[in-house]
């Protein structure tokens, strides 16, 4: 069931005594989420639980103040502190052909402009400076920085991710043309 949801953010702390909480939304554009009426929380690795939002206020940057229906005391929200917030994938805004959501490209085939088919996207590795595609290339893995110049296009229908790798990147991972499955 979690496959149908994406991670919106996290509840960071309680605010006041009347059941309000502060939350961080880990999104590129928070404006799409200013009218939220509900979120889902997973507590102790159990099934997702829907929480109806009574009031949502933007505090600046990616921080929000949330007040949930039926949770009116500090005690009633303490269990939420530190918990992740989720939304259905269907609420994600559509993207252009040059953009993609990380969850959607897992399992896509990577095709480079110079080297052809490289392998399959195994995972996305978040890094402080630059997130990386981890691509299974035969028996090896290569890491490709997720930038528009290295990953200019995605074809969702064919499940293909197109790359333009810089000279020498494959050699760094000791991947040579003979290692690439054709």
Number of C-beta neighbours around residue 72 at 10 A: 15
Instruction: Give pTM, 2 decimals.
Output: 0.69
Tell me the DSSP string of 16-59. Answer: TTTTEEEEEE--S-GGGGTT--EEEE--TT---EEEEEEEEEEE
User: What pLDDT score does 98 carry?
Assistant: 80
| Rounded Cα gap, residues 32 and 43, in angstroms | 25
Domains of the chain in start order, with CATH, are 2-91 (2.40.30.60), 102-179 (2.30.30.240)
| CA quadruple 69, 72, 76, 80: dihedral sign | positive
Q: What is the pLDDT along the chain (182 residues), one digit of tens a residue?
A: 677 899 899 999 999 999 999 999 988 788 889 999 999 998 877 889 999 999 999 999 899 999 999 999 999 999 999 999 999 998 888 887 788 888 889 999 999 999 999 999 999 998 888 899 999 988 889 999 999 999 999 999 999 999 999 988 888 887 765 556 44
């Amino acid at each position: 069931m979690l496959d149908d949801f994406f991670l919106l953010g996290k509840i960071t702390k309680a605010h006041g005594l009347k059941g309000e909480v502060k939350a961080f939304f880990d999104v590129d554009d928070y404006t799409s989420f200013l009218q939220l009426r509900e979120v889902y929380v997973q507590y102790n690795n159990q099934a997702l639980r829907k929480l109806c939002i009574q009031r949502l206020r933007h505090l600046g940057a990616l921080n929000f103040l949330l007040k949930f229906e039926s949770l009116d005391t500090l005690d009633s929200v303490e269990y939420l502190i530190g918990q992740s917030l989720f939304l259905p994938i269907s609420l994600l805004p559509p993207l252009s052909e040059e953009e993609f959501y990380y969850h959607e490209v897992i399992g896509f085939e990577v095709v480079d402009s110079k080297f052809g088919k490289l392998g399959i996207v195994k995972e996305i590795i978040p890094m402080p400076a630059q997130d990386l595609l981890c691509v299974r290339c035969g028996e090896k893995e290569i890491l490709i920085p997720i930038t528009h110049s290295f990953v200019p296009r995605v074809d969702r229908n064919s499940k293909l991710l197109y790359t333009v790798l810089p000279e020498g990147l494959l050699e760094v991972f000791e991947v040579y043309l003979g290692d690439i499955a054709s």
